[in-house]
Structure 1
Amino acid sequence: MLEAYLFPISYAFLTFPIAALLCAVPFLIVQYRKYGYFNKFRGFLLYLFLLYMMNAVYLVLLPLPASRHNAPMNVASVMQWIPLNFIQDILKETKVVWREPSTYMLLFKERAFLQVVFNVFLVVPFGMFLRYYVRSTWITCLVASVGLSLFFEVTQVTGIYGFYDYPYRLFDVDDLLLNTMGGMVGFLLAGWMKNHLPRLDRLDEKVDLSQKRVSYTRRTIAFCMDGAIVLPLIGVLTVLNLKGAYFIVVIAYYIVLPYMMQGQTLGTWIVRVQIRGAGEHLKLKEVMIRNGLLYVVWGGFHVLLITVNTAGSQILLVMYVIGVVLLDGAVFLHVLLCLIYRDRKLLHEAKSGTRLAIVDNHSINKAG
């Protein structure tokens, strides 16, 4: 019986790093948008919940049938609608002599009883999370627990929504009752535990966003978001044979747009940061130097490599490639030094006199 639970749990832990990486950017963006920064304790809770949900889903679904074309189960019906039928199952299978308390421990070795315990404990963390993290009411927790359990049961009885030819698990109304009970037990436990854990509504009380640095993780997310917008535009204009498509799009998006939109592109808006200059208002010159060095000059060297490649001169191409590699090496070393020495400013920021600042909900904080 224990091995049946250890198998899906081990798979959940093995695949958790992959899921954690896939969820990292959405988690960070939500935290940046909602709170203005990433709190490690709050992030720990989110990843803990992700690990729990993976374990819960794997426990419910695994092991899977060997083939999509599985055989039907040898049962009269795949639906069990009799409430509290688990009591009868326990009484049928148990070796406990109810008049002898010394035999009660045998319950913890019996399948029917352990199945009941499993179904209750499966949703306990869910109820705890809803009350502590989401701060939901007991009614919300009750409805959500029923919904989660119903999702599990429907997924099983439909053969993962038709993926398998036949259901490979029963739909059991007792599972709905026990799962829901587990969610409510978790809700009650969270009421006690929250007195021994940090209050989530007070995590941000002493946080001054104006004193927080804009992390390189945050910069990278904004950079990638902007790239996902700009690169397709450049590609479309290039296919349409528009000369200088790269420079037209880059100047419009990275220089004109930030100047008009108070130092923000779509990527920096998503992560709640903006470019700030030396004065109260961002100057066009400051944006031109900052993003010009980064996207027009550095990015332009890479784009012009295509032109050199089609020029027909192998010597010129080799020399240009060496130059680009050396430039990239210098940029990489410079960024690495900035990562190591936090007081060191990136070249395009130092030359333009600009910095990235976290955008407050009500005002612009002077964070760098």
Structure 2
Amino acid sequence: MLKFYLFPISYAFLTFPVAALLFTLPFLIIQYRRHGYVNKLRGALLYLFLLYLMNALFLVLLPLPASRHNAPPDVSSYMQWIPFNFIQDMLRETRVVLDKPSTYMHIFQERAFLQVLFNVCLVVPFGMFLRYYLRARWIRCLIASFGLSLFFEVTQVTGIYGIYDYPYRLFDVDDLLLNTLGGLIGFITAEWLSSLLPRIDKLDDNLDLSQKRVSYTRRGIALMLDWIVLLPVLVITGDYSLPVAYVVVVIGYFIIIPYCTNGQTLGKLIVRIRIKGSGEELMMRELAIRSGLLYVLLGGLNVCFVSTGFNSGVIEILFAVALFVVDAWFTIHLLIRLFNRDKKLFYEAKSGTTHIIS
């Protein structure tokens, strides 16, 4: 019986790194938008909740049939609608003899009892999360726990919504009742958890976002979002003259737009940061130096090399070597700044600009 549960749990842990990687980008964007920063406790709880959901889903679905065209189960009905039928199962299967107390411990080894215990425990973390993290009331926890259990049961009885020809697990109303009970137990248990951890709705009290440093991760996400917008434009305009189109686009997007928005591009707007100059208002000269050095000069040299291609002429070879040296220097420069957070990147130091949380 234990192996039946360990198999899906091991798969959940093996696939969790991939799920966490896919989860990270939307998680960071939502945290930056909603709270202005990423709180470690809040982040740890959300990743633990993701791990729990994966374990719960794998426990419900695995093991899968060997083929999509599975045989129908040998039962008269795919539904079990009699409430508390698990009590009859326990009485029928148990080796407990009522007039012999020494046999009472056998009940904890019975398949029917372990199945009941599993169904209750399955949704306990869900109820704890609802109360502690979402500050949900008991009625909301009751409805959400029932809804989660109903989702599990419908997924099973439909053969994962038609993927399999026949259900490989049955719909059981007792599972609904026991899962919902587990959610309410988790709701009650969260009261004890709340006494050990800080209140989730008080984490941002007395927080001064102006004193928090803008991380390179946050800046990198903003840059990635900006280039998601810009790359289609460059692809379209690149049919004419890529270097010229590149210079026009980056000047318009990284100099003109931030000047009009006081330091924000679309990517920076999404993650709630902006460029700040030496004064209250960002000056065109500061943006021209900053983006000119980074995008027009450094980026432009790479675009020119890619667009013109590599030839075996002396000038092309010298240009390729010089570009390699420049790119290598910038990579080392960036890595040093990643570990030395107090110092600015070269284009920030020359322009007198920095990033702040908006």
| TM-score band, normalised by shorter chain | over 0.9
- Corresponding residue number in structure 2 for 1:5: 5
What CA distance in whole angstroms lies between the structure 2 residues aligned with 1:197 and 1:325?
Answer: 51
In structure 2, what residue type is equivalent to 1:215?
A: S
User: What SS class does the counterpart of residue 244 from structure 1 fall into?
Assistant: helix
Provide the TM-score with structure 2 as the length reference.
Answer: 0.97
- Corresponding residue number in structure 1 for 2:233: 233
User: What SS class does the counterpart of residue 96 from structure 2 fall into?
Assistant: coil
Matches within 5 A, 1:264-279: 264-279=264-279
- Corresponding residue number in structure 2 for 1:168: 168
Do 1:116 and 1:178's aligned partners in 2 also have CA atoms closer than 8 Å?
Answer: yes
Matches within 5 A, 1:99-138: 99-138=99-138
- Corresponding residue number in structure 1 for 2:340: 341
94-103 or 247-256, which moves further after superposition?
94-103
- Corresponding residue number in structure 2 for 1:356: 355
Displacement after TM superposition at 1:240 (Å): 6.0
243-252 or 131-140, which moves further after superposition?
243-252
User: What SS class does the counterpart of residue 141 from structure 2 fall into?
Assistant: helix
Displacement after TM superposition at 1:233 (Å): 1.2
Provide the TM-score with structure 1 as the length reference.
Answer: 0.94
- Corresponding residue number in structure 2 for 1:248: 248
Which string of whole-angstrom CA distances, capped at 9 and with x for unpartnered residues, describes residues 283-340 of structure 1?
1111111112111111111110134317x55433333222222111101111111122
Measured at CA, do residues 261 and 169 of structure 1 come closer, stay the same or move farther in structure 2, by a change above 3 Å?
same
- Corresponding residue number in structure 1 for 2:224: 224
Do 1:337 and 1:344's aligned partners in 2 also have CA atoms closer than 8 Å?
Answer: no
In structure 2, what residue type is equivalent to 1:31?
A: Q
Measured at CA, do residues 71 and 317 of structure 1 come closer, stay the same or move farther in structure 2, by a change above 3 Å?
farther
What CA distance in whole angstroms lies between the structure 2 residues aligned with 1:182 and 1:240?
Answer: 64
Do 2:243 and 2:304's aligned partners in 1 also have CA atoms closer than 8 Å?
Answer: no
204-213 or 149-158, which moves further after superposition?
204-213
What CA distance in whole angstroms lies between the structure 1 residues aligned with 2:307 and 2:354?
Answer: 33
Do 2:52 and 2:125's aligned partners in 1 also have CA atoms closer than 8 Å?
Answer: yes
Do 1:308 and 1:316's aligned partners in 2 also have CA atoms closer than 8 Å?
Answer: no
Which string of whole-angstrom CA distances, capped at 9 and with x for unpartnered residues, describes residues 114-133 of structure 1?
00000000000000000000
Displacement after TM superposition at 1:109 (Å): 1.1
What CA distance in whole angstroms lies between the structure 2 residues aligned with 1:29 and 1:344?
Answer: 25
- How many pairs were matched up? 358
Do 1:309 and 1:317's aligned partners in 2 also have CA atoms closer than 8 Å?
Answer: no
User: What SS class does the counterpart of residue 275 from structure 2 fall into?
Assistant: strand
Root mean square deviation, CA, Å: 1.4
What CA distance in whole angstroms lies between the structure 2 residues aligned with 1:186 and 1:284?
Answer: 56
- Corresponding residue number in structure 2 for 1:84: 84
Measured at CA, do residues 68 and 182 of structure 1 come closer, stay the same or move farther in structure 2, by a change above 3 Å?
same
Displacement after TM superposition at 1:136 (Å): 0.8
- Corresponding residue number in structure 2 for 1:93: 93
Q: Which runs of 5+ in 1 are unaligned?
A: 360-368
Which string of whole-angstrom CA distances, capped at 9 and with x for unpartnered residues, describes residues 202-224 of structure 1?
21223221111101111111111
- Corresponding residue number in structure 2 for 1:362: none
- Corresponding residue number in structure 2 for 1:156: 156
Displacement after TM superposition at 1:107 (Å): 1.4
- Corresponding residue number in structure 2 for 1:320: 319
User: What SS class does the counterpart of residue 67 from structure 1 fall into?
Assistant: coil
What CA distance in whole angstroms lies between the structure 1 residues aligned with 2:168 and 2:206?
Answer: 53
State percent identity of aligned pairs: 62
